[in-house]
């Protein structure tokens, strides 16, 4: 396999991986603060992508306006989902909470299918056509934009958790809910906010994906890719989710390409991520960036 085809596999992997990262970030935010394993993360991506599509194509709004409106819509949606659906199962056994999020994923997918149809849709991109050459491989402006945007989103995310009052409160709630309550933090509100944030980042991932390669209902399987990504990065690590997402994107793309060209085996893509997952879990059960609990009394 030539160097340039390897490089283009990597670039493609990074682009898809940055979408994984966004979805994984959302997943981790919900898991960290509320300990809910959200199986509907991929459907949140779907909702974001389709809403933005409807606004730009059906309502002819400029891309950035509909992007912003999508963010607001999805944030509100997340907030409402937490308040109406998940608030009722706080403290219930983990299995019933998982069933709730699975149910949520089915409902969301059905609604999206009913409202927007099942055809593949592409959001017309605001980014001009064209490419720059990187190491002899053309990388389109669209790809560059997606990568840059995800990077900015992740940095903004990190800054939010590090420096803002709300971000700190979310981290405190994640470490010790009761102690956070004792500090005067309205934990219920923090839960709702984390769902709102999770919906927004997934929607961003969805919109990016829809401008690159389009979306259809099948794209909700991105929600499953979140698992290797976050387990690779460590379930409770924001940085880990970001890195894990990109890594999974690259690895599955490269592995897929290699198996295709060297062994003529097709469809190794989805196996690769999970194979890697098994290896990582054997070596570092808490993920690459996950924390071992600080033990000290």
Q: How far is the CB of 291 from other proteins (least distance, A)?
A: 7
Contact region with other proteins (CB under 8 A), list: 8-16, 21-29, 162-170, 196-204: 162-170
Pick between residue 31 and residue 116 the one whose CB is nearest to other proteins: 31
CA triple 88-205-197, angle to 5 deg: 35
Pick between residue 4 and residue 291 the one whose CB is nearest to other proteins: 291
Residues 121-150 that bind other proteins (CB under 8 A): none
Does 88 contact other proteins by CB under 8 A? no
Straight-line distance from the first to the last Cα atom of the chain, in angstroms, rounded to the nearest whole number: 55
Retrieve residue 27's tokens.
Answer: 């997943």
Contact region with other proteins (CB under 8 A), list: 34-42, 133-141, 164-172, 200-208: 164-172
Does 180 contact other proteins by CB under 8 A? yes
By the 10 Å C-beta count (0-12 exposed, 13-18 middle, 19+ buried), 22 is classed as buried
Helix (DSSP H) and strand (DSSP E) numbers for the chain: 11, 2
Does 110 contact other proteins by CB under 8 A? no
Of 2, 60, 129, 165, the residue at the interface with other proteins (CB under 8 A) is 165
Pick between residue 58 and residue 175 the one whose CB is nearest to other proteins: 175
Pick between residue 120 and residue 164 the one whose CB is nearest to other proteins: 164
Say how many C-beta atoms besides its own lie within 10 A of residue 132's C-beta.
11
Does 209 contact other proteins by CB under 8 A? no
Of 84, 184, 262, 283, the residue at the interface with other proteins (CB under 8 A) is 184
- Provide the greatest CA pair distance for the chain: 60
Between CA 98 and CA 58 the distance in angstroms is 35
User: Do residues 242 and 233 lie in contact, with contact meaning Cβ atoms separated by under 8 Å?
Assistant: yes
Residue with tokens 């891309």: 63
Between CA 200 and CA 69 the distance in angstroms is 11
Of 112, 185, 204, 207, the residue at the interface with other proteins (CB under 8 A) is 185
| Footprint on this chain of other proteins (rule: CB under 8 A) | 91, 165, 168-169, 171-172, 175-186, 291, 294, 296-297
């Amino acid at each position: 396999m030539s160097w340039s085809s390897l490089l283009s596999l990597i670039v493609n992997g990074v682009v898809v991986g940055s979408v994984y990262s966004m979805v994984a970030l959302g997943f981790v935010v919900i898991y960290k603060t509320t300990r809910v394993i959200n199986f509907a993360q991929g459907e949140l991506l779907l909702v974001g992508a389709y809403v933005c599509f409807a606004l730009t194509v059906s309502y002819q709004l400029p891309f950035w306006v509909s992007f912003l409106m999508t963010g607001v819509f999805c944030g509100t949606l997340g907030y409402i989902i937490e308040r109406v659906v998940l608030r009722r199962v706080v403290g219930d056994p983990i299995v019933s909470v998982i069933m709730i999020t699975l149910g949520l994923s089915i409902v969301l997918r059905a609604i999206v299918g009913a409202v927007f149809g099942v055809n593949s849709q592409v959001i017309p991109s605001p980014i001009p056509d064209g490419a720059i050459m990187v190491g002899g491989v053309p990388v389109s402006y669209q790809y560059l934009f997606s990568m840059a945007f995800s990077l900015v989103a992740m940095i903004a995310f990190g800054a939010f958790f590090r420096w803002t009052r709300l971000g700190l409160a979310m981290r405190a709630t994640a470490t010790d809910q009761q102690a956070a309550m004792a500090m005067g933090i309205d934990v219920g509100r923090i839960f709702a906010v984390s769902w709102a944030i999770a919906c927004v980042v997934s929607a961003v991932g969805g919109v990016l994906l829809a401008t690159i390669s389009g979306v259809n209902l099948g794209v909700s399987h991105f929600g499953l890719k979140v698992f290797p990504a976050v387990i690779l990065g460590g379930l409770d690590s924001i940085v880990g989710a970001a890195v894990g997402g990109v890594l999974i994107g690259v690895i599955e793309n490269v592995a897929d390409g290699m198996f295709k060209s060297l062994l003529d085996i097709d469809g190794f893509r989805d196996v690769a991520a999970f194979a890697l997952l098994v290896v990582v879990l054997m070596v570092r059960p808490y993920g690459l960036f996950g924390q071992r609990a600080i033990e000290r009394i």
